């Protein structure tokens, strides 16, 4: 096995030393290095569920409009497919061909990245492959992925955070006959939930301060499917919730206020091989988890909150417990769902197949000065994103182990690979173990300060240039992204 070493540029190193130094100075002067707290709302706004669109022949645009988020709160926002914020849920079966006639009706360049999907490089929304205002693009690819919860969002160079924050994101749900045969809750009992924090005092304009560019932009209001203070009426039966952390920087430690367990059935890359009972699931930006929640033991009028529990591991966030949305039981109904003991096989990629190990240092100092001319303040392995560089080259269909090393870091980084799914092999330092939701297919994995996470990936046969990056969107736009080419 070949060990690929990182070439370190001395000029860059001293620059970082300088940045790190000014960063430390700033940290001591700046009291605002922790995420702003969530201000809980009254949970009285009905949860919107995005309309479903058939992915075989879709046509939609991205455009700006205004959204009434709640009574008295109207903001300028961006949306897909006629939605004032967010967009339609694309549904398609594994193996089918996805076709989207996309029109950019924004006043800025954009593109779409199919987060988690294995697509040709030209379809992947590479940061410089953008569609000018007024322009169109035909997205078209065969859906190779396993049944699961994927999503789409813009990915233009240095504008991903801004466009996603202002509202551009949607679900991309893959199904199959094999999945349907499992009899999981479906239709109105299969509910996608995208959770995002926003700053509503700013009217949803994206105006990050230096501090936001450093730790990520945190809002004081949690939106679920675009609604603050969301509530959802449920029957006394089992629901399938598809949780997506679509926030720029905030991590949620999802749990139920009743203390009831949830059955974890899926991760970023689709169904697990068997359900696992969990009390909480920690999702960083970009990550998904599918859970079954049984409201069966409750009576009409009972309320249960989806909340985020405090968590350890990050200096900037996790201090606070807060409610996210309310479920209220409004009807008694028989539960037709029959518990399943197996779901869909997750074939393990074996370590001995790996032909290379690459190690990436993601552990730089926090609170960068934020004053560099280029706006690049978050390095990945000592480098800032440059579309004209080729950082790594891998062979199509080969297996490699990639290590994200945050051992000496002070920041939290959810690391995301484009082009396909991977499996997480190990975590050393910090939590020192893999979580239940990291034992299926993944495309984003969280590394707290002090942690080193190893993943194993079989690169797809699609040739070309892809990116991998931190999915804290301020970090991504701040340079924490590299290229890799599949050849």
First-to-final CA distance of the chain:
19
Find the binder of Cu ion among 267, 308, 472, 483 (CB under 5 A). Answer: 472
Contact partner, 413, from ligand C2O, Cu ion, none, Cβ < 5-8 Å per class: Cu ion
At residue 404, the 3 state secondary structure works out as: strand
Q: Does the protein bind Cu ion through residue 250 (CB under 5 A)?
A: no
Residues sharing a CB contact under 8 Å with residue 345, sequence separation 6 or more, in sequence order: 273
Least CB distance to Cu ion at residue 423 (A) = 21
Burial 245-274 (b: 16+ CB within 10 A, else e): bbbbbbbbbbbbbeebbbbbbbbbbbbbee
Which is nearer to Cu ion, 170 or 219 (by Cβ)? 219
Instruction: Please say which residue, 170 or 370, places its beta carbon nearer to ligand C2O.
Output: 170
Q: Cβ contacts of residue 352 below 8 Å, gap of 6+?
A: none
Say if residue 315 is exposed, middle or buried (CB neighbours under 10 Å; 0-12, 13-18, 19+): middle
Position closest to ligand C2O via CB: 115
Which range in 206-214, 276-284, 401-409, 467-475 contacts ligand C2O by CB under 6 A?
467-475
3-class state of residue 68 by DSSP: strand
Residue from 378, 383, 416, 427 binding Cu ion (CB under 5 A): 378
The CB-of-476 to ligand C2O minimum distance in angstroms stands at: 7
Sheet of 399-405, strand order = 2-4, 354-361, 399-405, 452-458, 422-428
Distance CA 70, CA 44 (A): 9
**From ligand C2O, Cu ion, none, interface partner of 416 (C-beta below 5 to 8 A by class):** ligand C2O
Stretch that binds ligand C2O, among 311-319, 343-351, 392-400, 463-471 (CB under 6 A): 463-471
Q: Would you say 287 or 411 has its CB closer to Cu ion?
A: 411
Among 416, 452, 454, 465, binds ligand C2O (CB under 6 A): 416
Binding mask 319-358 for Cu ion (x = CB under 5 A): ----------------------------------------
Q: By C-beta, is 146 or 469 nearer to ligand C2O?
A: 469
Cβ-in-10-Å burial (0-12, 13-18, 19+) of 122 comes to middle
Whole-number minimum distance, CB 305 to ligand C2O, in Å?
Answer: 27
Q: Which stretch binds ligand C2O (CB under 6 A): 35-43, 229-237, 378-386, 464-472?
A: 464-472
Name the binder of 104 from Cu ion, ligand C2O, none, CB < 5-8 A by kind. Answer: none
Burial of 398 per CB tally in 10 Å (0-12, 13-18, 19+): middle
Backbone φ and ψ of 215, nearest 5°: -95, -10
User: For strand 354-361 and strand 422-428, is the pairing parallel, antiparallel, or unpaired?
Assistant: unpaired
Residue of the chain from 155, 358, 465, 475 that contacts ligand C2O (CB under 6 A): 155
418 binds ligand C2O (CB under 6 A): yes
Compute the least distance from the CB of residue 416 to ligand C2O, in Å. 5
Q: What are phi and psi of 353, to 5 degrees?
A: -80, -15
Shortest distance in whole angstroms from residue 290 CB to Cu ion? 25
For 332-394, the three-class secondary structure string (H helix, E strand, C coil) is: CCCCCCCCCCCCCCCCCCCHHHEEEEEEEECCCCCCCCCCCCCCCCCCECCECCCCCCCCEEE
# residues contacting ligand C2O (CB under 6 A): 10
The listed partner (ligand C2O, Cu ion, none) that binds 358, CB under 5 to 8 Å by sort, is none
Cβ 378 to Cu ion shortest distance, Å: 3
126-134, 135-143, 148-156, 378-386 -> range binding Cu ion (CB under 5 A): 378-386
Among 63, 113, 242, 378, binds ligand C2O (CB under 6 A): 113
- 206, 165 contact by CB (below 8 A): yes
Reduce the DSSP state of residue 13 to 3 states and report it.
helix
The reply on whether position 452 binds ligand C2O by CB under 6 A is: no
Residue 469 near ligand C2O by CB under 6 A: yes
CA atoms of 329 and 433, how far apart (whole Å):
37
- Is position 364 an interface residue for ligand C2O (rule: CB under 6 A)? no
Is 26 among the residues that bind Cu ion (CB under 5 A)?
no
Query: Which DSSP category does 50 fall into?
Result: P
Binding-site ranges for Cu ion (CB under 5 A): 378, 411, 413, 470, 472, 475
Binding-site ranges for ligand C2O (CB under 6 A): 113, 115, 153, 155, 286, 416, 418, 467, 469, 471
């Amino acid at each position: 096995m070949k060990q690929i070493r990182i070439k370190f540029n001395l000029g860059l190193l001293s620059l970082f030393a300088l940045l790190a130094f000014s960063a430390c100075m700033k940290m001591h002067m700046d009291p605002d290095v922790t995420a702003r707290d969530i201000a809980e709302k009254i949970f009285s706004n009905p949860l919107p569920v995005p309309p479903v669109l058939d992915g075989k022949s879709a046509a939609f645009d991205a455009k700006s409009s205004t959204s009434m988020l709640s009574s008295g709160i109207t903001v300028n926002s961006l949306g897909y497919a006629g939605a004032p914020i967010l967009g339609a849920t694309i549904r398609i079966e594994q193996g089918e061909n996805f076709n989207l006639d996309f029109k950019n009706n924004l006043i800025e360049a954009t593109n779409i990245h199919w987060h988690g999907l294995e697509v040709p490089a030209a379809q992947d929304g590479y940061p410089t492959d953008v569609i000018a205002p007024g322009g169109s693009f035909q997205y078209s690819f065969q859906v190779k992925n396993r049944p699961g919860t994927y999503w789409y969002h813009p990915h233009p160079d240095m504008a991903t955070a801004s466009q996603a924050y202002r509202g551009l994101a949607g679900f991309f749900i893959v199904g199959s006959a094999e999945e349907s045969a499992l009899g999981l809750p479906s239709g109105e009992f299969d509910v996608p939930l995208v959770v995002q924090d926003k700053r509503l005092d700013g009217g949803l304009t994206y105006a990050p301060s230096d501090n936001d560019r450093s730790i990520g932009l945190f809002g004081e209001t949690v939106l679920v499917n675009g609604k603050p203070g969301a509530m959802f009426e449920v029957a006394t039966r089992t629901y399938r919730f598809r949780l997506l952390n679509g926030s720029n920087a905030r991590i949620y430690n999802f749990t139920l206020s009743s203390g009831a367990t949830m059955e974890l059935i899926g991760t970023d890359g689709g169904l697990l091989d068997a359900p696992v009972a969990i009390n909480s699931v920690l999702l960083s930006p970009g990550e998904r988890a599918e859970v079954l929640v049984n409201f069966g033991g409750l009576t009409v009028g009972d309320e249960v909150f989806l909340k985020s529990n405090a968590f350890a591991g990050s200096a900037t966030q996790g201090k606070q417990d807060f409610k996210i949305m309310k479920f209220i039981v409004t009807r008694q109904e028989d539960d037709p769902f029959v518990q399943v003991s197996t779901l869909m096989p997750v074939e393990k990629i074996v370590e001995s197949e790996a032909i290379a190990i690459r190690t990436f240092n993601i552990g730089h100092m926090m609170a960068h000065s934020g004053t560099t001319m280029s706006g690049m303040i978050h390095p990945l392995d000592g480098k800032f994103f440059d579309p004209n560089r080729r950082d790594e080259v891998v062979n199509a269909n080969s297996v490699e182990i990639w290590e994200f090393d945050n051992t000496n870091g002070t920041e939290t980084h959810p690391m995301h690979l484009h082009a396909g799914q991977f499996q997480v092999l190990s975590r050393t330092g910090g939590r020192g173990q893999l979580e239940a939701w990291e034992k299926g297919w993944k495309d984003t994995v969280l590394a707290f300060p002090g942690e080193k996470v190893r993943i194993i990936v079989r690169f797809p046969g699609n040739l070309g240039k892809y990116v991998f990056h931190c999915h804290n969107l301020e970090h991504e736009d701040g340079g924490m992204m590299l290229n890799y080419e599949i050849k």
